[in-house]
Amino acid sequence: MRHKPLREQVIVVTGASSGIGLATARMAAERGARVVLAARSRDVLDRLAEAFGARAVAVTADVGDRAQVQAVADKAIATFGGFDTWVNVAGLTVYGPLREITQDDHERLIRTNFWGTVNGSLVAAEHLRARGGALINVGSIASDLAFPFQGLYAASKHAVKGFTDTLRMELIAEGAPVSVTLVKPASIDTPLPNRARNYMDRQPTLPPPIYPPDEVARAILHAALHPQRDIFVGGGGKLFVMGKEFAPGAYDELAPAIIALQKRAEPPRDTAGALHAPVRAGEERGDPPVPVMRRSAYTRATLHPLASVGIAAGMATAAAVLLGGFGGRRRRS
Protein backbone atom coordinates (compact mmCIF):
# COMPACT_ATOMS: atom_id res chain seq x y z
CA MET A 1 0.00 0.00 0.00
CA ARG A 2 1.41 3.37 -1.04
CA HIS A 3 0.48 6.68 0.56
CA LYS A 4 0.80 10.31 -0.52
CA PRO A 5 3.99 12.29 0.14
CA LEU A 6 3.81 14.10 3.47
CA ARG A 7 3.62 17.50 1.80
CA GLU A 8 0.32 16.40 0.22
CA GLN A 9 -1.16 14.90 3.39
CA VAL A 10 -3.49 16.14 6.10
CA ILE A 11 -2.48 14.53 9.39
CA VAL A 12 -4.60 14.43 12.56
CA VAL A 13 -2.65 14.09 15.81
CA THR A 14 -4.38 13.54 19.15
CA GLY A 15 -2.45 14.36 22.31
CA ALA A 16 -0.75 17.07 20.27
CA SER A 17 -0.15 19.48 23.16
CA SER A 18 2.86 17.66 24.68
CA GLY A 19 5.39 14.88 24.35
CA ILE A 20 5.24 12.51 21.39
CA GLY A 21 2.11 14.14 19.98
CA LEU A 22 3.70 17.58 19.96
CA ALA A 23 6.94 16.25 18.44
CA THR A 24 4.96 14.45 15.72
CA ALA A 25 2.80 17.47 14.88
CA ARG A 26 5.82 19.76 14.71
CA MET A 27 7.82 17.38 12.51
CA ALA A 28 4.85 16.83 10.20
CA ALA A 29 4.35 20.58 9.80
CA GLU A 30 8.06 21.09 9.13
CA ARG A 31 7.86 18.48 6.37
CA GLY A 32 5.01 20.29 4.68
CA ALA A 33 1.94 18.41 5.90
CA ARG A 34 -1.22 20.16 6.98
CA VAL A 35 -1.86 19.29 10.62
CA VAL A 36 -4.96 19.00 12.80
CA LEU A 37 -3.97 19.39 16.46
CA ALA A 38 -6.25 17.78 19.06
CA ALA A 39 -5.90 17.77 22.86
CA ARG A 40 -7.62 19.04 26.00
CA SER A 41 -5.46 22.20 26.36
CA ARG A 42 -7.12 24.93 24.31
CA ASP A 43 -4.59 27.71 25.01
CA VAL A 44 -1.59 25.52 24.14
CA LEU A 45 -3.19 24.27 20.93
CA ASP A 46 -4.10 27.79 19.83
CA ARG A 47 -0.48 28.91 20.33
CA LEU A 48 0.82 25.94 18.39
CA ALA A 49 -1.62 26.47 15.53
CA GLU A 50 -0.60 30.10 15.31
CA ALA A 51 3.08 29.15 15.28
CA PHE A 52 2.53 26.51 12.56
CA GLY A 53 0.60 28.96 10.39
CA ALA A 54 -2.23 28.44 7.93
CA ARG A 55 -1.37 24.76 7.47
CA ALA A 56 -2.55 23.93 11.01
CA VAL A 57 -5.85 23.98 12.86
CA ALA A 58 -6.54 23.30 16.55
CA VAL A 59 -9.49 21.41 18.03
CA THR A 60 -10.01 21.08 21.77
CA ALA A 61 -11.15 17.55 22.54
CA ASP A 62 -11.12 14.87 25.22
CA VAL A 63 -10.47 11.66 23.32
CA GLY A 64 -12.42 9.66 25.90
CA ASP A 65 -15.61 11.23 24.50
CA ARG A 66 -16.61 9.80 21.10
CA ALA A 67 -18.61 12.90 20.14
CA GLN A 68 -15.59 15.15 20.74
CA VAL A 69 -13.39 12.88 18.64
CA GLN A 70 -15.95 13.01 15.84
CA ALA A 71 -15.77 16.81 16.08
CA VAL A 72 -12.02 16.59 15.38
CA ALA A 73 -12.69 14.65 12.18
CA ASP A 74 -15.46 17.06 11.20
CA LYS A 75 -13.11 20.02 11.66
CA ALA A 76 -10.45 18.36 9.51
CA ILE A 77 -13.02 17.77 6.76
CA ALA A 78 -14.43 21.29 6.99
CA THR A 79 -11.00 22.94 6.98
CA PHE A 80 -8.93 20.78 4.65
CA GLY A 81 -11.47 18.59 2.87
CA GLY A 82 -10.52 15.47 4.80
CA PHE A 83 -7.47 13.74 6.24
CA ASP A 84 -5.00 11.11 5.06
CA THR A 85 -3.36 9.97 8.30
CA TRP A 86 -4.77 9.78 11.81
CA VAL A 87 -2.38 9.35 14.74
CA ASN A 88 -3.69 8.34 18.18
CA VAL A 89 -1.11 9.51 20.70
CA ALA A 90 -3.07 10.81 23.70
CA GLY A 91 -2.17 8.90 26.84
CA LEU A 92 -1.49 9.20 30.56
CA THR A 93 -0.22 6.99 33.36
CA VAL A 94 -0.65 6.34 37.06
CA TYR A 95 2.22 5.27 39.33
CA GLY A 96 1.55 3.14 42.37
CA PRO A 97 0.47 -0.31 43.62
CA LEU A 98 -2.77 -1.52 42.06
CA ARG A 99 -4.38 -2.01 45.47
CA GLU A 100 -3.98 1.68 46.36
CA ILE A 101 -5.31 3.30 43.18
CA THR A 102 -8.91 4.53 43.26
CA GLN A 103 -11.54 3.26 40.89
CA ASP A 104 -12.00 6.76 39.47
CA ASP A 105 -8.31 6.95 38.56
CA HIS A 106 -8.37 3.48 37.02
CA GLU A 107 -11.41 4.38 34.91
CA ARG A 108 -10.05 7.74 33.79
CA LEU A 109 -6.80 6.16 32.61
CA ILE A 110 -8.62 3.46 30.64
CA ARG A 111 -11.00 6.06 29.17
CA THR A 112 -8.07 8.07 27.82
CA ASN A 113 -5.55 5.39 26.84
CA PHE A 114 -7.87 2.67 25.57
CA TRP A 115 -11.20 4.28 24.72
CA GLY A 116 -9.40 7.30 23.29
CA THR A 117 -7.62 4.99 20.86
CA VAL A 118 -10.83 3.10 20.07
CA ASN A 119 -12.76 6.32 19.46
CA GLY A 120 -10.05 7.82 17.27
CA SER A 121 -9.53 4.61 15.30
CA LEU A 122 -13.20 4.00 14.54
CA VAL A 123 -13.88 7.61 13.59
CA ALA A 124 -10.77 7.70 11.39
CA ALA A 125 -11.52 4.35 9.72
CA GLU A 126 -14.95 5.52 8.60
CA HIS A 127 -13.37 8.39 6.68
CA LEU A 128 -10.34 6.48 5.41
CA ARG A 129 -12.35 3.56 4.04
CA ALA A 130 -13.43 5.75 1.14
CA ARG A 131 -10.36 7.95 0.85
CA GLY A 132 -7.52 5.56 1.73
CA GLY A 133 -4.73 6.39 4.15
CA ALA A 134 -2.99 5.44 7.36
CA LEU A 135 -4.14 4.83 10.91
CA ILE A 136 -1.28 4.90 13.41
CA ASN A 137 -1.80 3.99 17.07
CA VAL A 138 0.86 4.67 19.66
CA GLY A 139 1.06 1.77 22.07
CA SER A 140 4.17 1.03 24.11
CA ILE A 141 6.56 -1.77 24.91
CA ALA A 142 3.99 -2.09 27.74
CA SER A 143 1.76 -3.55 25.00
CA ASP A 144 3.97 -6.64 25.41
CA LEU A 145 5.37 -6.22 28.93
CA ALA A 146 3.89 -5.71 32.39
CA PHE A 147 5.30 -2.99 34.63
CA PRO A 148 4.68 -3.16 38.38
CA PHE A 149 3.50 0.21 39.74
CA GLN A 150 2.15 1.06 36.26
CA GLY A 151 -0.26 -1.85 36.10
CA LEU A 152 -3.28 -0.13 34.53
CA TYR A 153 -1.04 1.67 32.04
CA ALA A 154 0.34 -1.70 30.92
CA ALA A 155 -3.17 -3.17 30.84
CA SER A 156 -4.41 -0.29 28.69
CA LYS A 157 -1.53 -0.70 26.25
CA HIS A 158 -2.12 -4.46 26.05
CA ALA A 159 -5.73 -3.61 25.18
CA VAL A 160 -4.62 -1.09 22.54
CA LYS A 161 -2.55 -3.80 20.88
CA GLY A 162 -5.44 -6.30 20.86
CA PHE A 163 -7.86 -3.71 19.47
CA THR A 164 -5.40 -2.48 16.83
CA ASP A 165 -4.61 -6.01 15.63
CA THR A 166 -8.32 -6.84 15.39
CA LEU A 167 -9.21 -3.67 13.51
CA ARG A 168 -6.36 -4.29 11.08
CA MET A 169 -7.67 -7.77 10.34
CA GLU A 170 -11.20 -6.54 9.78
CA LEU A 171 -10.03 -3.82 7.40
CA ILE A 172 -7.99 -6.40 5.48
CA ALA A 173 -11.05 -8.66 5.27
CA GLU A 174 -13.06 -5.74 3.83
CA GLY A 175 -10.36 -4.87 1.34
CA ALA A 176 -10.27 -1.35 2.78
CA PRO A 177 -7.32 0.79 1.54
CA VAL A 178 -6.22 1.61 5.10
CA SER A 179 -2.88 0.68 6.63
CA VAL A 180 -2.84 0.15 10.40
CA THR A 181 0.40 0.52 12.34
CA LEU A 182 1.10 0.05 16.04
CA VAL A 183 4.10 2.04 17.26
CA LYS A 184 5.61 0.71 20.49
CA PRO A 185 8.01 3.16 22.14
CA ALA A 186 10.34 2.26 24.98
CA SER A 187 11.10 4.95 27.60
CA ILE A 188 10.83 8.32 25.85
CA ASP A 189 11.95 11.69 27.18
CA THR A 190 8.52 13.31 27.50
CA PRO A 191 6.69 14.98 30.44
CA LEU A 192 4.73 11.72 31.01
CA PRO A 193 6.15 11.01 34.51
CA ASN A 194 5.71 14.63 35.60
CA ARG A 195 2.09 14.62 34.37
CA ALA A 196 1.27 11.27 35.99
CA ARG A 197 -1.09 10.62 38.89
CA ASN A 198 1.36 9.51 41.56
CA TYR A 199 0.72 7.32 44.60
CA MET A 200 4.40 6.65 45.30
CA ASP A 201 6.55 8.26 47.98
CA ARG A 202 9.02 9.45 45.34
CA GLN A 203 8.85 11.48 42.16
CA PRO A 204 8.33 9.06 39.23
CA THR A 205 10.71 8.61 36.34
CA LEU A 206 11.26 6.29 33.39
CA PRO A 207 13.64 3.31 33.43
CA PRO A 208 16.66 3.71 31.11
CA PRO A 209 17.58 3.65 28.31
CA ILE A 210 15.54 6.73 27.41
CA TYR A 211 15.14 7.94 23.82
CA PRO A 212 14.16 11.38 22.42
CA PRO A 213 10.57 11.98 21.25
CA ASP A 214 11.79 12.84 17.75
CA GLU A 215 12.63 9.15 17.27
CA VAL A 216 8.98 8.24 17.79
CA ALA A 217 7.80 11.09 15.57
CA ARG A 218 10.14 9.91 12.82
CA ALA A 219 8.76 6.37 13.07
CA ILE A 220 5.17 7.63 12.98
CA LEU A 221 5.75 9.72 9.87
CA HIS A 222 7.57 6.83 8.24
CA ALA A 223 4.44 4.71 8.76
CA ALA A 224 2.35 7.51 7.22
CA LEU A 225 4.37 6.98 4.03
CA HIS A 226 5.54 3.36 4.17
CA PRO A 227 3.10 1.18 6.14
CA GLN A 228 4.54 -1.28 8.62
CA ARG A 229 2.56 -3.51 10.95
CA ASP A 230 4.55 -2.76 14.12
CA ILE A 231 7.45 -0.45 14.89
CA PHE A 232 9.45 -0.63 18.12
CA VAL A 233 11.14 2.63 19.05
CA GLY A 234 14.21 1.92 21.15
CA GLY A 235 16.41 -1.14 20.90
CA GLY A 236 16.57 -1.43 24.69
CA GLY A 237 12.81 -1.89 24.88
CA LYS A 238 12.80 -4.46 22.08
CA LEU A 239 15.51 -6.39 23.90
CA PHE A 240 13.42 -6.61 27.06
CA VAL A 241 10.34 -7.73 25.12
CA MET A 242 12.31 -10.49 23.45
CA GLY A 243 13.87 -11.49 26.75
CA LYS A 244 10.47 -11.70 28.42
CA GLU A 245 9.18 -13.93 25.64
CA PHE A 246 12.24 -16.17 25.99
CA ALA A 247 12.20 -16.36 29.79
CA PRO A 248 8.99 -14.93 31.29
CA GLY A 249 9.73 -16.25 34.76
CA ALA A 250 13.09 -14.53 34.82
CA TYR A 251 11.44 -11.27 33.75
CA ASP A 252 8.94 -11.57 36.62
CA GLU A 253 11.85 -11.76 39.04
CA LEU A 254 12.96 -8.31 37.89
CA ALA A 255 9.92 -6.71 39.60
CA PRO A 256 11.83 -5.13 42.53
CA ALA A 257 14.41 -3.65 40.18
CA ILE A 258 11.74 -2.31 37.80
CA ILE A 259 9.92 -0.63 40.71
CA ALA A 260 13.18 0.96 41.90
CA LEU A 261 14.01 2.23 38.42
CA GLN A 262 10.68 4.11 38.31
CA LYS A 263 11.52 6.21 41.40
CA ARG A 264 13.71 9.29 41.61
CA ALA A 265 15.58 10.17 44.77
CA GLU A 266 13.39 13.23 45.41
CA PRO A 267 9.93 13.43 47.03
CA PRO A 268 6.80 13.74 44.84
CA ARG A 269 5.99 17.09 43.24
CA ASP A 270 2.43 17.21 41.88
CA THR A 271 0.71 13.96 42.82
CA ALA A 272 -2.57 14.75 41.01
CA GLY A 273 -0.93 15.15 37.63
CA ALA A 274 -2.91 15.62 34.43
CA LEU A 275 -5.11 12.55 34.74
CA HIS A 276 -8.36 14.44 35.32
CA ALA A 277 -7.42 17.90 34.03
CA PRO A 278 -4.67 19.13 31.69
CA VAL A 279 -1.49 20.43 33.36
CA ARG A 280 2.06 21.03 32.13
CA ALA A 281 0.89 21.00 28.51
CA GLY A 282 3.08 22.58 25.86
CA GLU A 283 6.22 20.68 26.85
CA GLU A 284 7.79 18.24 24.42
CA ARG A 285 10.46 16.82 26.72
CA GLY A 286 10.78 16.00 30.40
CA ASP A 287 13.65 16.17 32.86
CA PRO A 288 14.96 12.61 33.34
CA PRO A 289 17.75 12.15 35.90
CA VAL A 290 19.84 10.10 33.45
CA PRO A 291 21.27 10.96 30.02
CA VAL A 292 18.98 10.56 27.02
CA MET A 293 20.11 8.57 23.99
CA ARG A 294 20.64 10.69 20.90
CA ARG A 295 18.85 8.21 18.63
CA SER A 296 17.82 4.57 18.27
CA ALA A 297 20.04 2.85 15.72
CA TYR A 298 17.85 -0.24 16.06
CA THR A 299 14.65 1.63 15.14
CA ARG A 300 16.17 3.45 12.21
CA ALA A 301 17.49 0.17 10.85
CA THR A 302 14.15 -1.62 11.22
CA LEU A 303 12.49 0.98 9.05
CA HIS A 304 14.44 -0.68 6.22
CA PRO A 305 13.19 -4.29 5.87
CA LEU A 306 16.42 -5.87 4.60
CA ALA A 307 18.34 -4.67 7.64
CA SER A 308 15.76 -5.85 10.16
CA VAL A 309 16.30 -9.59 9.60
CA GLY A 310 19.88 -9.56 10.82
CA ILE A 311 19.03 -7.21 13.68
CA ALA A 312 16.25 -9.50 14.93
CA ALA A 313 18.56 -12.51 14.97
CA GLY A 314 21.24 -10.64 16.89
CA MET A 315 18.77 -9.26 19.43
CA ALA A 316 17.23 -12.69 20.01
CA THR A 317 20.65 -14.00 20.98
CA ALA A 318 21.31 -11.00 23.24
CA ALA A 319 17.93 -11.38 24.97
CA ALA A 320 18.55 -15.07 25.61
CA VAL A 321 21.92 -14.32 27.17
CA LEU A 322 20.57 -11.42 29.26
CA LEU A 323 17.55 -13.06 30.87
CA GLY A 324 18.87 -16.61 30.69
CA GLY A 325 21.92 -15.55 32.64
CA PHE A 326 19.81 -13.64 35.14
CA GLY A 327 17.53 -16.62 35.68
CA GLY A 328 20.53 -18.91 36.10
CA ARG A 329 22.05 -16.69 38.77
CA ARG A 330 18.71 -16.64 40.63
CA ARG A 331 18.48 -20.43 40.59
CA ARG A 332 22.07 -20.88 41.78
CA SER A 333 21.54 -18.39 44.59
Q: What is the pLDDT of residue 322?
A: 52
pLDDT average, residue stretch 129-147: 97
Q: What is the pLDDT of residue 2?
A: 86
Q: Which residues touch 204 (CB under 8 Å, ≥6 apart)?
A: 95, 193, 194, 196, 198, 262, 263, 264, 268
* pLDDT surpasses 80 at 158: yes
* pLDDT surpasses 60 at 310: no
User: Is-above-0.75 flag for pTM?
Assistant: yes
Residues labelled as active-site residues: 153
Q: What is the pLDDT of residue 181?
A: 98
pLDDT average, residue stretch 62-68: 98
* Residue of 110, 146, 106 whose CA lies nearest to 262: 146
Domains, the chain? 6-327 (3.40.50.720)
Q: What is the pLDDT of residue 318?
A: 52
1-34 residue pLDDT tens? 889 999 999 999 999 999 999 999 999 999 999 9
Q: What is the pLDDT of residue 312?
A: 53
Q: What is the pLDDT of residue 330?
A: 47
Q: What is the rounded CA–CA span in Å between residue 205 and residue 283?
A: 16
Q: What is the rounded CA–CA span in Å between residue 74 and residue 127?
A: 10
Q: What is the pLDDT of residue 315?
A: 54
Q: What is the pLDDT of residue 287?
A: 96
